[in-house]
Amino acid sequence: MLIVIHRLTPLLTLLLWLPAFKVMALSFPLPENGNDLVGETRTVKTVYEDTFSDIARLHDLGYLDLTDANPEVDPWLPGEGTEIILPTRFILPPEPREGIVINLAELRLYYYPKGESRVITHPLGIGREGWSTPTGTGRVIRKQANPTWYPPESIRAEHATDGDPLPAAVKPGPDNPLGKYALYLSLTGYLIHGTHKPYGVGMRVSHGCIRLYPEDIDRLFSQVPVGTPVRIINEPYKAGWKDGQLYVEAHPPLSEQLKEKGINFTPMVQAIIKALGDSPMKPDWAGMKNAALNQRGVPVPITAIQAEPNPSQQDNIALSDEADSPGR
């Protein structure tokens, strides 16, 4: 289902970048009865002044969320009255559904509040190539409002080389890259924090830490207790069920993953097989391949068919290198 909402206005775009402006968080009841999808895909029509950065922040999406879902639209000059797809429907990451789950390939955080049957999701920025955010499991060990940033020697050396030397400590304030709030993780040296450069949310721009929009970390900081488990995964392909229909969701793999393994669809095939479990339904492998090639980041149904898939065709799909994706 597509939901059409009102377009932005120049005044709303201006208000969006004011510190006190609040954007609605994406919060959904947890699906029941074996379902895995939350939310609905929406659309918005632009006015001439809009950019993808403005639209993304207003709807709690990342910049690359919009460029992936709308590859034919100029992100800086979308024009007047252009219909933009808002990818606000999600297949939840693989279980367990607890604590904080961060999917690097998706550039997205999912938070499952303890004792509540709901999920909250936010876009995030992660480490750029050469400063990759690691996968792993840990927990929140400390929360700090108005944090001081102590840049590691490696980051100070990089800045010095670029002619922008950093002090040993950056005090709280508008120039602090941690923003107003930080969650310190048991994964040594890594944080979930705000930012003084919100346009980098939904992109790979950090030195490995995980950054959120200021309004999102504000909410998350107040909700997440110390001790909350954190799981960081890298799953560009997800599969799940909605009312008896199997869906897949494909995102561009991280660039490091492409360099190491090249393009292949084996992970998506594996995700589909895992989602199928003991179900007698058979997926449309050609439809799966199309979704994997497009990498729009939007859940698409894989029509169930009764005939057994051709094993040789399935193998070719799994090992194909046709996709032309630069990765994240």
Q: Residue 159 sits in a domain of what CATH number?
A: 2.40.440.10
pLDDT at 311 > cutoff 50: no
Instruction: List residues bridging with 35 in a β-sheet.
Output: none
Indicate if 111 and 224 belong to the same structural domain: yes
Cα gap 157→151, rounded to integer Å: 10
Indicate if 83 and 60 belong to the same structural domain: yes
- From 62, 91, 120, give the residue that closes a domain: 91
| Cβ atoms within 10 Å, residue 18 | 7
Catalytic residue numbers?
193, 209
Q: Of 52, 50, 66, which is closest to residue 107 (Cα–Cα)?
A: 66
Indicate if 192 and 278 belong to the same structural domain: no
pLDDT in tens, 173-205: 888 989 999 999 998 888 999 998 898 898 887
pLDDT at 307 > cutoff 50: no
- From 91, 125, 144, give the residue that closes a domain: 91
Confidence of residue 318 (pLDDT cuts 50, 70, 90): very low
Cα gap 328→257, rounded to integer Å: 9
33, 121, 234 from 136: Cα distances, Å: 29, 19, 10
Q: What is the mean pLDDT of residues 139-152?
A: 92
pLDDT at 159 > cutoff 90: no
The CB-based long-range contact list for 207-210 (8 Å cut-off, 24+ gap) reads: 207/127, 207/128, 207/131, 207/152, 207/155, 208/126, 208/127, 208/131, 208/132, 208/133, 208/134, 209/127, 209/133, 210/102, 210/109, 210/124, 210/125, 210/126, 210/133
Note whether residue 221 is domain-resident. yes
Residue 32 has a pLDDT of 92
Q: What is the mean pLDDT of residues 163-180?
A: 84
Q: Of 156, 198, 207, 148, which is closest to residue 178 (Cα–Cα)?
A: 148
Indicate if 204 and 279 belong to the same structural domain: no
Residue 130 has a pLDDT of 59
Indicate if 179 and 151 belong to the same structural domain: yes
More confident residue, 66 or 10: 66
Q: What is the mean pLDDT of residues 8-32?
A: 64
Cα gap 275→282, rounded to integer Å: 11
Average pLDDT, the chain: 84
Note whether residue 324 is domain-resident. no
Token representation of residue 12? 């709303």
Note whether residue 185 is domain-resident. yes
Residue 144 has a pLDDT of 96
Per-residue HEC secondary structure of 286-303 comes to HHHHHHHHHCCCCCEECC
Q: Of 38, 48, 69, which is closest to residue 202 (Cα–Cα)?
A: 69
Note whether residue 131 is domain-resident. yes
Note whether residue 263 is domain-resident. yes
34, 161, 244, 276, 283 from 280: Cα distances, Å: 15, 60, 12, 8, 10
Q: Residue 38 sits in a domain of what CATH number?
A: 3.10.350.10
pLDDT at 244 > cutoff 50: yes
Cα gap 205→310, rounded to integer Å: 42
Note whether residue 325 is domain-resident. no
Indicate if 186 and 149 belong to the same structural domain: yes
- What stretch of H or E contains 242? strand 237-242
DSSP E strand boundaries for 65-115: 83-86, 89-91, 99-103, 108-112
Cα gap 118→38, rounded to integer Å: 10
Domain that holds residue 274: 237-319
Indicate if 84 and 111 belong to the same structural domain: no
Indicate if 86 and 181 belong to the same structural domain: no
Cα gap 61→124, rounded to integer Å: 9
pLDDT in tens, 114-133: 999 999 999 999 976 656 78
Residue 312 has a pLDDT of 42
**DSSP-derived pairing of the beta strands 118-123 and 2-5:** unpaired
CB 125 within 8 A of CB 200: yes
- From 65, 91, 117, give the residue that closes a domain: 91
Note whether residue 135 is domain-resident. yes
Indicate the number of domains in the chain.
Answer: 3
What is the edge-to-edge ordering of all strands in the sheet holding 83-86?
2-5, 41-45, 83-86
Note whether residue 307 is domain-resident. yes
Indicate if 69 and 174 belong to the same structural domain: no
Indicate if 241 and 267 belong to the same structural domain: yes
Indicate if 257 and 287 belong to the same structural domain: yes
Indicate if 103 and 87 belong to the same structural domain: no
